[in-house]
Amino acid sequence: MSNIHVRNNLDAPHAGKDSPLYKMIAGKTGAVSLPSLNMLDYSSLWSADWWGFDSCPVYANLSVEKQNDVLARCNQSLLTEAYFIEKSGLAYSAKMVLTARNTDEAQLFALIGADEAKHLAWIEPYVSADAKQLPRGHFLSFLSNLIEEYPPKLLVYLVQIILEGWGLDHYNRLAKSCAHPELAKLFAAILKDEALHHRSGNVLFDASQLSQRDYSLIEDALQHYSLMVRVGPQGALAIVDEVAGGLSNSDLQSVLVALRHEDETQRKLLLLRQLMNQPLVSRVVEILDEEHCFLPVSLREAVDCFVSSR
Ligand SMILES: [Fe+2]
Ligand SMILES: [Fe+2]
């Protein structure tokens, strides 16, 4: 592994719609390019109700334009995140093909890579050129670090079992509630492929081969995962704060309540725990239990976390 180094080039550009390669990729994947992104009403993709804004006094007090702006930006953030996750799948699969222990594994990872390239081609037309240049947030840098630095035998657990298992829940929620029929279909199709990616992680992960160092790398990664979830929907909170023009701490708390921090974050943490809790790794999960890693932080702590990074 030491002589193979894969970089997750998140901001690598696309050649553009008119390039021959772009057309070949679109032909092969069935990706449909949109005439213009200006025609797409981002605010209508997932509803205010889906986000929880329908019960949010701060949101209700905004003008209709600002409400639409909040919704559009929140919905855009879902597409941008999906774009960068699928793009990361290219680097992931490349590393796993190059380090495969046998032909079947190499074939599997090449097939997964083809799926990720297809997913990327499907989502890419819905993401603005600016957003494609701006990979943002802790999660993407955490994922890049895993892909670039972690040994492949741990990645099948950390990426395929946990992250792709998480993705099944996430894409399912996006597919079920998306008001744009074409996008809803794309997310449903992605979901089908991701199920196999997740399942193959379960087949490949062999915890009996893990060293002490592997366990400590796993513990670090699991703590990182859980912390990112524990602090709740910080991205959506930042969008409301920015559009509203700087909220007080109590308003920030009420936005978090509306975004269902307390129950939805808890649900996500339990899902994460369930995905993490594989045979021979359960001791690490128990350590995280002892450290309360699967409990959402309080509203006050979630707001403090947001304010400290504002
Ligand atoms: Fe994917
Ligand atoms: Fe995948």
CA distance 57 to 261: 16
Rounded Cα distance, 249 and 282, in Å:
38
Burial of 196 (0-12, 13-18, 19+ CB in 10 A): middle
Ligand 2 centroid – CA 247 distance (Å): 37
* CA 288, chain centre distance (Å): 22
- DSSP annotation of 157: I
pLDDT for residue 2 is more than 70: no
Instruction: Confirm if 169 and 118 have CB atoms less than 8 A apart.
Output: no
Q: Do the beta carbons of residue 146 and residue 221 sit within 8 Å?
A: yes
**Which residues are found with C-beta within 5 Å of the ion, ligand 2?**
164, 194, 197
Residue 89 Cα, ligand 1 centroid: separation in angstroms?
A: 7
- Cα(199)–Cα(88) distance, integer angstroms: 19
pLDDT digits (tens, 9 = 90+) for 167-179: 999 999 999 999 9
Terminus-to-terminus CA distance in the chain, angstroms? 39
In the structure, what pLDDT confidence band is assigned to residue 306 with cuts at 50, 70 and 90?
very high
Q: Look up the CATH number of domain 45-308.
A: 1.20.1260
| CA of 119, nearest ligand number | 1
CB 139 within 8 A of CB 45: no
Q: What is the arithmetic mean of pLDDT over 103-129?
A: 97
- Which amino acid, 190? I
- CB within 5 A of ion ligand 1: which residues? 86, 116, 119
pLDDT value at position 32? 85
Task: Show Cβ contacts of residue 79 under 8 Å, excluding neighbours closer than 6 positions.
Answer: 45, 123, 126, 127, 131
pLDDT tens-digit profile of 177-207? Answer: 999 999 999 999 999 999 999 999 999 999 9
Q: What is the pTM (predicted TM-score) of this model?
A: 0.95
Residue 156 Cα distances to 46, 95, 192, 304, angstroms: 32, 12, 18, 34
Q: Where is 171: in which H helix or E strand? A: helix 164-177
Amino acid found at 74:
C
pLDDT of residue 137: 86
CA 114 / ligand 1 centre spacing (Å) = 9
Residue 35 confidence (pLDDT) = 74
Ligand 1 centroid, distance to 246 Cα (angstroms): 36
Q: Which ligand is nearest to the CA of 166?
A: 2
CA distance 173 to 143: 21
Per-residue pLDDT, 10: 92
How many A from CA of 194 to the centre of ligand 2?
Answer: 5
